[in-house]
Chain A
Amino acid sequence: MSVLVFAETSEGKFKKSAFEVTSYGKKVAEQLGTNVVVLAINASEPTLLYKYGAEKVLNVNNASLKFNAKIVANIIKQAVEKENSKVVIIDSNANGLYVAPIAAINLNAGYASNVVAAPSSVSPFTVKRKAFSSKAFNFTQISTDVKVLSLSKNSFGLVENEVSGVVEEFSPAIVESNLTSVSVEQTSGKVTIADADIVVSGGRGLKGPENWGMIEELASVLGAATACSKPVSDLGWRPHSEHVGQTGKPVAANLYIAIGISGAIQHLAGINSSKVKVVINTDPEAPFFKAADYGIVGDAFEVVPKLVEKLKEFKANNA
Chain B
Amino acid sequence: MKILVCISHVPDTTSKINFTENDSKFDSNGVQFVINPYDEFALTRAMWFKEKQGATVTVVTVGNATTEPTLRKALAIGADDAIRVNTEATDGFAVAKELAEVVKTNAYDLILAGKESIDYNGGMVPGMLAGLLDYSFVNACVGLEIEGDKATIQREIDGGKEILSANLPLVIAGQKGLVEEKDLKIPNMRGIMMARQKKLTVVESFVKETSTSSVSFEKPAAKSACKIVDNVDELISLLHNEAKVI
Contact = CB atoms under 8 A, between A and B. Distances in A.
Nearest to B127: A101
Contact of B163 (A183, A192, A272): A183
B156 A314 contact: no
A243 B37 CA distance: 14
Interface string B182-216: 10000000000000000000000000001111111
Contacts of A248: 176
A131 B10 CA distance: 12
A276 interface: yes
Nearest to A107: B131
A238 interface: no
B137 interface: yes
A211 interface: no
Nearest to B163: A182
A100 interface: yes
Contacts of B227: 293-295
Nearest to B154: A185
A186 to B, nearest CB: 3
Given A104-B93, A194-B158, A307 B127 contact: no
A128 B23 CA distance: 14
Interface string B117-158: 011111111111011100011111010000000001001111
B235 A278 contact: yes
Interface in A188-207: 190, 192, 194-195, 197-198
Interface string A67-81: 001100100000000
A303 B231 CA distance: 8
Interface stretch (A34-42, A50-58, A139-147): A139-147
Contacts of B52: none
Interface string B61-98: 00000000000000000000000000000011100100
A239 B62 CA distance: 33
A97 B182 CA distance: 27
A288 to B, nearest CB: 9
B55 to A, nearest CB: 21
Contacts of A303: 232
B107 interface: no
Nearest to A290: B226
A306 B232 contact: yes
A137 B218 contact: yes
A11 to B, nearest CB: 13
Interface residues of A, number: 90
Interface string B13-33: 110110100000000000000
A110 B211 contact: yes
A319 interface: no
A136 B118 contact: no
A222 B211 contact: no
A98 B246 contact: no
A307 B137 contact: no
Interface stretch (B1-9, B43-51, B237-245): B237-245
Contact of B158 (A93, A292, A294, A306): A93
B123 to A, nearest CB: 5
B162 A111 contact: no
A43 B2 CA distance: 43
A100 B124 contact: yes
Contacts of A128: 218
Given A70-B137, A101-B123, A306-B232, A246 B211 contact: no
26 contacts: A73-B131, A94-B156, A101-B92, A101-B125, A111-B122, A111-B211, A135-B219, A137-B217, A139-B216, A139-B217, A179-B164, A180-B164, A181-B164, A186-B160, A186-B161, A190-B159, A195-B158, A233-B176, A246-B37, A247-B13, A254-B245, A265-B14, A295-B229, A307-B236, A310-B233, A311-B246
Interface of A: 69-70, 73, 93-95, 97-98, 100-102, 104-106, 109-114, 126, 128, 130-144, 177-187, 190, 192, 194-195, 197-198, 222, 233-234, 240-241, 243, 246-248, 254-255, 265-266, 269, 272, 275-276, 278-279, 284, 289-297, 303, 306-307, 310-311, 314, 318
Given A94-B156, A192-B159, 5 more contacts: A132-B119, A136-B19, A143-B213, A266-B13, A278-B235
